[in-house]
Amino acid sequence: MSSKLSGDTSTETRIHSPENASGSLLIPPEEMATITAWLKEHKISEVECIVPDLTGNARGKFIPAHQFTEQLEQKLPESILVQTVTGEYTDDHWDFVEPTDTDMMLSPDASTLRRVPWAREPTAQIIADCLKADGTPHPLSSRNVLRYVLGLYEEAGLKPVIAPEVEFYLVHKNTDPDYECMPPKGRSGRREVARLSYSIDAVAEFEDFVEDMYDYADAQSLAVDTLIHENGAAQMEINFRHGDPLAMADQVFAFKRTVRETALKHDMYATFMAKPMQREPGSALHIHQSILSLEDGSNIFAGKDGKPTAAMMHYLGGLQRYTPELISFYAPNVNSYRRLAPDISAPINLSWGFDNRTTAFRVPNSTPENLRIENRFPGVDANPYLAITATLASGLLGMRQGLQPTEPHQGTANEQAVVVARTLEEGVRQLNDTPELQQMIGELFMRAYAAVKLDEFEEFNRVISSWEREHLLLQV
């Protein structure tokens, strides 16, 4: 293993981390000039300046275009980074942010500038980096966490490449949460009831939706590739072309907004809930990943003979070693764990295999230059920045430590025992067990994430379900 990958991961010898990384990310004048020219060229009247919060939702503000270009100093309260999915705050909230609810600085990233094709007025969206008052990266920003891990790869002379696969359901528009979700009617006037994986005709049922979705994606230069019908009723999957991890996280973030807006246009909902329907499979955010050498651009997972290298084996070893502790990054909501169950096409243990879709980590058949690992754990409800952070951090630690994976699994891995957490509480309680993960992701971020997710679990746990009233009310 290259000496560039070796590194002391103890917190005592840590030189820098997301909390104390030096260097300002304030927007350079030339980048602002690029943004200004783009806004004028496209006759933009309003700008959505947005940041992804801990849950992966868009927070931000609408700003008139002329004001956006004239007033470089945009701000938002830092507390929005650590709100629960319901918009609440944890009891420990002031341990993570200043008690004065300090503003954070926003540094718009010109590479994320896109049109908002569904807006009535000419509108642009731009993702901003979150900075502390001194201009350093804010440690509670999930985008900054991913950027930091990518910096560690760069220091090691490596460049990760990823390709996401995004699954989602179209569902009948229903404003009453007490009613179960159901598929919408297609152009035939009927709802799907059968398993229609890869069905062309089933996709054609929603042709108008699909065409508008692609038009919206093209207008935003999103690197969407193929669309297929998945196993569930009105369940779709979009594959993205491979690219830079931060750019692809930005694109998944933008794409989820795009699909929701397209569905609303056609009087239905699109949901990225991990398992929205009891009798249908869950939806995943599968992450294909390979690692390139910055020196010569070669794929370090493939040897000269085209076979997997020791680096790839160590990377797999890292995924197996650290996934149990990072499972809440892949399954961040109480509903997420309904997907991670036996016999519903989702991983339940840490197995890996060659072209085996029942394993957690799959190595697809491919040419040597495209040799890669598919992480099948993340649900589509995951914050894409954190899901990508978790998989890349695990792989890097595996290569640093020379971890060895198990033997490749033969046969159906779903017949093996469940070894991953089955509840959000169980998953979160494993999060802070490993100092080397805290160093990579940030001790403050890890504590804040755990507090937010445990608060969500406790809020959910107070709800009495219809199952309990049905089977326990008069019988126990």
Q: Indicate the residue type of 247.
A: A
Is the pLDDT assigned to residue 72 strictly greater than 70?
no
Are 37 and 164 contacting, i.e. CB atoms less than 8 angstroms apart? no
pLDDT band with cut points at 50, 70 and 90 for residue 27: confident
Tell me whether residue 8 is in a domain.
no
Is this structure's pTM higher than 0.85?
Answer: yes
Are residues 69 and 46 part of one domain? yes
pLDDT of residue 420: 92
Q: What is the pLDDT of residue 214?
A: 96
pLDDT in tens, 244-263: 999 999 999 999 999 999 99
Identify whether residues 56 and 171 lie together within a single domain. Answer: no
- The pLDDT value recorded for residue 6 is 58
Give the chain as a 3 state SS string.
Answer: CCHHHCCCCCCCCCCCCCCCCCCCCCCCHHHHHHHHHHHHHCCCCEEEEEEECCCCCEEEEEEEHHHHHHCCCEEEEHHHHHCCCCCCCCCCHHHCCCCCCCEEEEEECHHHCEECCCCCCCEEEEEEEEECCCCCECCCCHHHHHHHHHHHHHHCCEEEEEEEEEEEEEEECCCCCCCCCCCCCCCCCCCCCCCCCCCHHHHHCCHHHHHHHHHHHHHCCCCEEEEEECCCCCEEEEEECCECHHHHHHHHHHHHHHHHHHHHHCCEEEECCCCCCCCCCCCEEEEEEEEEECCCCCECCECCCCCECHHHHHHHHHHHHHHHHHHHHHCCCCCHHHHCCCCCCCCCCCCEEECCCCCCEEECCCCHHHCCEEECCCECCCCHHHHHHHHHHHHHHHHHHCCCCCCCCCCCHHHCCCCCCCCHHHHHHCCCCCHHHHHHHCHHHHHHHHHHHHHHHHHHHCCCCHHHHHHCCCCC
Domain membership of residue 384 (yes or no) is yes
Which CATH number belongs to the domain containing residue 71 in this structure? 3.10.20.70
Range of the domain at 439: 153-471
**Residue 191 confidence (pLDDT):** 92
Per-residue pLDDT band at 22 (split at 50, 70, 90): very low
Note the pLDDT of residue 18: 44
pLDDT band for position 2 (cuts 50, 70, 90): very low
Q: Are residues 313 and 456 in the same domain?
A: yes
- 241, 123: one domain: no
Kindly tell me if the per-residue pLDDT of 289 is higher than 50.
Answer: yes
**How far, in Å, are 197, 212, 253, 315, 454 from residue 260 at the CA level?**
22, 12, 12, 35, 28
* CA pair distance 435, 119, nearest whole angstrom: 45
Average pLDDT of the residues of the chain: 91
Residue with tokens 């010109």: 110
Which of 23-27, 227-231, 347-351, 353-357 comes out lowest in average pLDDT? Answer: 23-27
Q: Is the pLDDT of residue 365 over 90?
A: yes
| Residue 4 maps to a domain | no
Tell whether 46 and 161 lie within a shared domain.
no
Please, which pLDDT band fits residue 71 given cuts at 50, 70 and 90?
Answer: confident
User: Does residue 87 sit in the same domain as residue 162?
Assistant: no
Task: Show which of 73, 106, 138 is a domain's final residue.
Answer: 138
The stretch 436-440 carries a mean pLDDT of: 93
Which tokens in the block code for residue 153? 């790869």
pLDDT tens-digit readout, 323-339: 999 999 999 999 999 99
Is 143 inside any structural domain?
no
Residue 23 has pLDDT above 60, yes or no: no
**pLDDT exceeds cutoff 60 at 285:** yes
| Residue 237 shares a structural domain with residue 119 | no
Q: What is the pLDDT of residue 177?
A: 85
Same domain, 451 and 324: yes
Q: What are phi and psi of 136, to 5 degrees?
A: -90, 155
In a domain, 183, yes or no: yes
CB-count exposure of residue 423 (10 Å: 0-12, 13-18, 19+)? middle
Same domain, 86 and 205: no
Domain count for the chain, please give it: 2
Beta bridge partners of 169: 235, 271
Asked if pLDDT for residue 9 goes beyond 80, the answer is no
Domain boundary among 114, 138, 162: 138
Per-residue pLDDT at 428: 96
Per residue in 106-143, pLDDT (tens digit) is 999 999 999 999 999 999 999 999 999 888 999 999 99
pLDDT tens figures, 300-314 = 999 999 999 999 999
CATH number at residue 161: 3.30.590.10
Which residue carries 């096409």 as its tokens? 345
Contacts of 293 (CB under 8 A, 6+ apart): 157, 158, 159, 299, 300
> Is 1 part of any domain?
no
Percentage of residues in the chain having pLDDT higher than 90: 82
- 126 and 221, same structural domain? no
Of the candidates 98, 113, 138, which is a domain's last residue?
Answer: 138
Question: Does the structure show a pLDDT above 90 at 317?
Answer: yes
pLDDT of residue 12: 32
Identify whether 147 is part of a domain. no
Mark whether 321 and 358 lie in a shared domain: yes
Q: Are residues 53 and 134 in the same domain?
A: yes
